[in-house]
């Protein structure tokens, strides 16, 4: 049995992020390992330092201000924000809070294996070295499980150089999308395998057990949008007329709060699961919305959040997921992901990533890279 520490996004008030973290920890624990998440909550100094060091765009600050303004103006958003850490306390094991890389490094001493993943932790738009396990103490095994780059085009050269440096020394690497694997190969030479998002590692029955009861009332069309786009609501009104279903909105953005439809406000992760599971139909622009709609067998209308010519488009996430589920059943997807993860944590890296033949002078980093 190994003691495993995992790092991913925990504090962005997002159902998908919290549930994929839960699924990965539960899966690793089901394999017999002791597992907890590193509770990384960077302070202001850490955020500024990372933005300058990683070369991230200042518009990320504006995005943060926009999200905080929604929370400040909506009681339900504040209730939801409190419900997610309550879910962690109930269902997961977290380390003490780490505000910076030094605290992460100190906390990581007690683990045998460190895992980064999943979600868009390797997206070049918001690079952060912590999610590449750069804080790992010497000699710790490092694994990337289904890390998502979220994009389908190469980023700027300065960011490529950082990604190349930060991906050195991993014992096993997998990414979430085929497009991400191709980009990683171009940027670093790494031959990463493609593994499913952690939410796919649990069965429909396991997710149903975690779900809250259905929202009260008549059958409903559930709407869950991460993006802010007035055109979404034109599509919702069209579906309302087409299906005759009442519309129930899980609000995230200012526009969703002002949509005029009935709101399922202040819901936590378990209520989110219950709402998706029991929907007559789901309309979403969210990757994890699509994933859970698929897991629960709910008819899902996917709205593409990004224009195809947008250099920061993250449509590759949903495109890959749709191809994957069309080619394979969920049982096979789950089996492949669990087998890869178990072998990687157990140290069987010859089955966990595409390695070169070992030689006397090879080390971990060189064995992960193509010639």
For the stretch 230-243, pLDDT in tens is: 999 999 999 999 99
Q: How many CB atoms lie within 10 A of CB 367?
A: 17
Asked if pLDDT for residue 312 goes beyond 90, the answer is no
- What average pLDDT score do residues 183-204 get? 97
Name the strand (E) or helix (H) holding 248: strand 246-250
Please state whether beta strands 34-40 and 141-147 pair in parallel, antiparallel, or not at all (unpaired).
unpaired
Choice among 49-58, 191-200, 265-274 with the minimum mean pLDDT: 49-58
- What average pLDDT score do residues 96-105 get? 98
- Residue 35's pLDDT band, with cuts at 50, 70 and 90, is very high
Asked if pLDDT for residue 359 goes beyond 70, the answer is no
* Selected residue with higher pLDDT from 314 and 132: 132
To the nearest whole percent, how much of the chain has pLDDT over 70? 91
Choice among 62-71, 96-105, 179-188, 302-311 with the minimum mean pLDDT: 302-311
pLDDT value at residue 317: 84
- What average pLDDT score do residues 153-168 get? 96
Asked if pLDDT for residue 134 goes beyond 50, the answer is yes
Q: What is the DSSP code (8-state) at residue 174?
A: E
For the entire predicted model, the pTM comes to 0.91
Asked if pLDDT for residue 362 goes beyond 90, the answer is no
Choice among 87-91, 315-319, 322-326 with the minimum mean pLDDT: 315-319
pLDDT value at residue 43: 96
- What average pLDDT score do residues 311-327 get? 83
Asked if pLDDT for residue 72 goes beyond 80, the answer is yes
pLDDT value at residue 59: 78
- What average pLDDT score do residues 272-294 get? 97
pLDDT value at residue 347: 83
- Give the domains, in start order, of the chain with CATH numbers: 3-203+330-367 (3.40.50), 211-327 (3.40.50.2000)
Residue pair 187/170 in contact by the 8 Å Cβ criterion: no
To the nearest whole percent, how much of the chain has pLDDT over 90? 84
Asked if pLDDT for residue 207 goes beyond 90, the answer is yes
pLDDT value at residue 85: 98
- Residue 313's pLDDT band, with cuts at 50, 70 and 90, is low
Annotate 20-32 with b (16+ C-beta within 10 A) or e (fewer): bbbbbbbbbeebe
Asked if pLDDT for residue 308 goes beyond 80, the answer is no
Asked if pLDDT for residue 350 goes beyond 60, the answer is no
- Residue 292's pLDDT band, with cuts at 50, 70 and 90, is very high
- What average pLDDT score do residues 267-287 get? 98
DSSP letter string over 95-156?
EEEE-SHHHHHHHHTT-SEEEE-SSSTT-GGG--GGGGTTTPPTT-EEEEEEE----SS---
Asked if pLDDT for residue 27 goes beyond 50, the answer is yes
Nearest partner of 222 among 169, 147, 289, 131, judged by Cα: 289
- What average pLDDT score do residues 160-189 get? 97
pLDDT value at residue 63: 83
pLDDT value at residue 314: 65
Average pLDDT of the chain is 91
């Amino acid at each position: 049995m190994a003691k495993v520490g995992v790092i991913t996004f925990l504090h962005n008030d997002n159902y998908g992020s919290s549930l994929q973290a839960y699924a990965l920890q539960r899966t690793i624990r089901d394999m017999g390992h002791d597992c907890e998440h590193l509770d990384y909550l960077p302070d202001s100094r850490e955020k500024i330092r990372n933005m300058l060091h990683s070369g991230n765009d200042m518009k990320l600050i504006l995005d943060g201000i926009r999200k905080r303004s929604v929370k400040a103006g909506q009681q339900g958003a504040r209730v939801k924000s409190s419900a997610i850490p309550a879910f962690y306390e109930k269902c997961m094991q977290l380390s003490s809070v780490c505000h910076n890389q030094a605290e992460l490094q100190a906390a990581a001493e007690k683990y045998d294996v460190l895992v980064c993943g999943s979600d868009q932790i390797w997206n070049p738009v918001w690079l952060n070295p912590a999610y590449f396990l750069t804080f790992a103490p010497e000699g710790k095994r490092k694994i990337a499980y289904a890390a998502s780059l979220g994009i389908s085009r190469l980023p700027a050269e300065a960011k490529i150089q950082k990604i190349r440096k930060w991906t050195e020394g991993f014992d096993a690497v997998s990414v979430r999308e085929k497009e991400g694997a191709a980009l990683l190969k171009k940027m670093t030479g790494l031959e990463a395998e493609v593994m499913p998002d952690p939410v796919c590692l649990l069965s429909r029955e396991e997710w149903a057990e975690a779900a809250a009861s259905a929202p009260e009332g008549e059958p409903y069309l559930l709407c869950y949008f991460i993006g802010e786009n007035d055109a979404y609501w034109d599509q919702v009104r069209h579906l309302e007329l087409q299906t005759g279903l009442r519309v129930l909105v899980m609000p995230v953005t200012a526009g969703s709060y002002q949509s005029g439809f009935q709101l399922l406000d202040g819901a936590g992760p378990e209520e989110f699961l219950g709402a998706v599971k029991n929907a007559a139909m789901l309309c979403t622009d969210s990757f994890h919305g699509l994933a859970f709609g698929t897991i629960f067998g709910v008819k899902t209308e996917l709205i593409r959040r990004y224009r195809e010519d947008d250099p920061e488009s993250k449509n590759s996430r949903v495109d890959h997921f749709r191809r994957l589920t069309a080619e394979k059943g969920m049982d096979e997807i789950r089996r492949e992901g669990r087998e890869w993860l178990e072998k990687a944590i157990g140290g069987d890296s010859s089955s966990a990533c595409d390695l070169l033949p070992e030689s006397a002078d090879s080390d971990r980093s060189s064995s992960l890279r193509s010639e």
